Chain A
Amino acid sequence: MIDVRLLRDTLELTLARDDSFPTMFYERLFTAHPEARALFHRSTPGAQNKMFAQKLTVLVDHLDDPAWLGRELATLAANHASYGVTAAMYPWVGEALLATLREACGDAWTDEAERAWTEAYASLVAAILG
């Protein structure tokens, strides 16, 4: 059972502590996988950062609402496919996300948080990839 409250608390803490959380995430992603940059040409970095933070937040807010989550993830899967996102890219994002959260949370990051985020991300990706 994923600890949803822990996910929300760590994400809120991250967003409240550091305005540059989405920027740090994309920097990490593009450094590790420069080829991913080409997928993000349609929006400015500022807009992309906001969309990322909002999408992540709204997903975490609705983790205990399977009906909403099902609809949202179906849309997300279709959008990602149309942008050229492949299954191989999801782990890149997962690694960059966890690393950024870990750094932003600092001492507040625990083994439980690591486990909860890893499991939650895996289940979201599984739902997206069907």
Chain B
Amino acid sequence: MLAWSLDEPERLGEVLPITGPTSIGRGGPLDDDPAPRTTLHRMRPGSTLAGPPIGSARIGRRQLVLEPRGEDEVHVRSIGPARVRVAGKVITEALARTGEIIEIHNAAVFLVTSRPAELPALGAGTPATFPYGAPDSFGMIGESEPAWKLREAIAFASSTSRHVLVLGESGVGKELAARAVHGLSPRHARPFIARNASTMPEALIDAELFGNVKNYPNPGMADRPGLIGEADESTLFLDEIGDLPEKCQVHMLRVLDGDGEYHRLGEAHARRSSFRLVAATNRSLDSLKHDFLARFTHRIVLPGLTERRDDVPLMLAEILRRTARKNPAIADRFFERRKGEIAEPRLAPDLVVRLLRHPFTHHVRELERLVWLALGTAESDYIGLTPDVERELEQSAESEVDAAELDRDTLARALAEHGRSPTKAAKALGLKNRFVLLRLLKKHGLSVSTEGEQS
């Protein structure tokens, strides 16, 4: 998958399908190609279309011969004039595994990725009419298999009126997914009501959700419809639903049933709201009561960036594009101009390579922060791997390495010793944050609330 290109940045995210020995080089087939030649393809569900020949001036006419070895490796032979690196080392021949990077010096960066020869065709209603590699109509970016599976899951959930639970770590784009569910549904013409459950004062959660009559429960309170009333015929998005106290979860059980019946606080008669709840959490499902959880018919799990590395270059490009549009000074300093228009960013391949290897814990939010750090600490007109960015990446990576070494017993003990608080336990273990711990618990089949009994 093309992750960076000096001369053809518009082709990011395109793939070189390697099913047998394959020649790669600039231009069309040559009589003395050592193997059949391929070019970059646009791979989307149900169609894999070959693009024009590779046009980068710095890639030789005969540059690489690639041959798959098993499912997760490709044999790389460099036969061209440009230097080729695999996993950072200059090579003439090497094996590259899935997730490793092949660089053609100052010309292109490829991420070795393992995909089916063709992505399966989409289910009905999945939006696919947007330019390759660009954000879709809901702002979601990605051409990887997980990105398309996610779009399909969102389209399926939006085609019904059932309640949806969106799961994923902090920064993966849960609200974006919730907005997409709303936007694709017949409710899209009505306003999308969004609130963060963790910001509601505990004493007022019921009033916030169900509304109240004037002066009830507290004197001086104005009457209000509540979020559920406001979201009638529309979508209510409640973020951080895992922070909702158990008793409030119980209070919501009835309104989440089919008829949407509820009472405003202080009001005798029942009301009905035909709302669809899309709730999101980055916490373990154990933080939700089982009967509350059961009301969510659809669960959409958002993959983290480490599960969809193929999309990191596309996201990086979009973040930079958006930043340049809003900040003329950044556009002037870091972007090329062609015929007077803002064109591609001056982006160093080293930064892309490092980001492709980075174990993201805060995903898109973390990527955005790293981009701003790179912009803010750049010493020239290039966006590159500055010492500050490098330090930041190293610190995160170190915490990830430590995390991998923690065994089940250590995790269980840390939780027990810190009152089952994931935040405190993560800190005591030296992990970057509680999300790293929660991911480790999941990996080991443990959870915050029940792990003590299991171990």
Contacts and interface: CB of A to CB of B under 8 A. Distances in A.
B61 interface: yes
Contact of B60 (A16, A42, A46, A56): A16
Contacts of B57: 15, 50, 53-54, 56-57
A58 B7 CA distance: 12
B83 to A, nearest CB: 8
A58 B27 CA distance: 8
A57 B26 contact: yes
A50, A54, A56, A61, most chain B CB atoms within 10 A: A50
Interface stretch (B177-185, B270-278, B335-343, B401-409): B335-343
Interface residues of A, number: 19
Contacts of A57: 26, 55, 57
A47 B343 contact: yes
A46 B335 CA distance: 9
Contact of A50 (B7, B80, B339): B7
B58 A43 contact: no
Contacts of A56: 57
A41 B186 CA distance: 51
Contacts of B346: 46
A104 B105 CA distance: 17
A57 B60 CA distance: 10
A43 B337 contact: yes
Contact of A47 (B60, B82, B106, B338): B338
Contacts of B336: 43-44, 46-47, 50
Contacts of B338: 42-44, 47, 51
A12 B339 contact: no
Contact of A54 (B55, B80, B81, B337): B55
B164 interface: no
Contacts of B81: 12-13, 15-16
Contacts of A47: 336-338, 343-344
B214 to A, nearest CB: 63
A50 B7 CA distance: 6
Contacts of A15: 57-58, 81-82
Contacts of B82: 15-16
B415 interface: no
A35 interface: no
A8 interface: yes
B339 A53 contact: no
Query: How many of chain B's residues touch chain A, expressed as a range?
Result: 20 to 34
Contact of B106 (A19, A43, A51): A19
B56 interface: yes
A25 B452 CA distance: 70
A24 to B, nearest CB: 14
Q: Among A12, A53, A54, A58, find the residue whose CB has the most chain B CB atoms closer than 10 A.
A: A12
A97 to B, nearest CB: 14
A39 B335 CA distance: 20
Contacts of B6: 50
A3 to B, nearest CB: 15
A19 B7 CA distance: 12
Contacts of B55: 54, 57-58
A46 B344 CA distance: 10
A127 B26 CA distance: 25
Interface in A87-117: none
A81 B299 CA distance: 61
Interface string B53-78: 00111101100000000000000000
Interface string A1-39: 000000010001101100100000000000000000000
Nearest to A47: B336
Given A12-B60, A15-B81, A50-B7, A44 B27 contact: no
Nearest to B332: A44
Interface in A48-71: 50-51, 53-54, 56-58, 61
Contacts of B105: 16
A122 B374 CA distance: 46
B331 to A, nearest CB: 11
A50 B56 CA distance: 9
Contacts of B61: 8, 12, 61
Contacts of A44: 335-338, 343
A16 B58 CA distance: 6
Contacts of A43: 336-339
A12 B80 CA distance: 9
Contacts of B60: 12, 16
Given A16-B83, A16-B105, A58-B55, 6 more contacts: A8-B61, A12-B80, A42-B338, A44-B336, A50-B6, A50-B7
- List of 8 A-B pairs having minimum Cβ-Cβ separation, nearest first: A16-B81, A47-B336, A57-B57, A53-B57, A12-B81, A44-B336, A44-B337, A61-B27
21 contacts: A12-B61, A12-B80, A12-B81, A15-B81, A16-B58, A16-B81, A16-B82, A19-B58, A19-B106, A42-B337, A42-B340, A44-B337, A44-B338, A44-B343, A46-B346, A53-B58, A54-B55, A54-B57, A56-B57, A57-B57, A61-B27
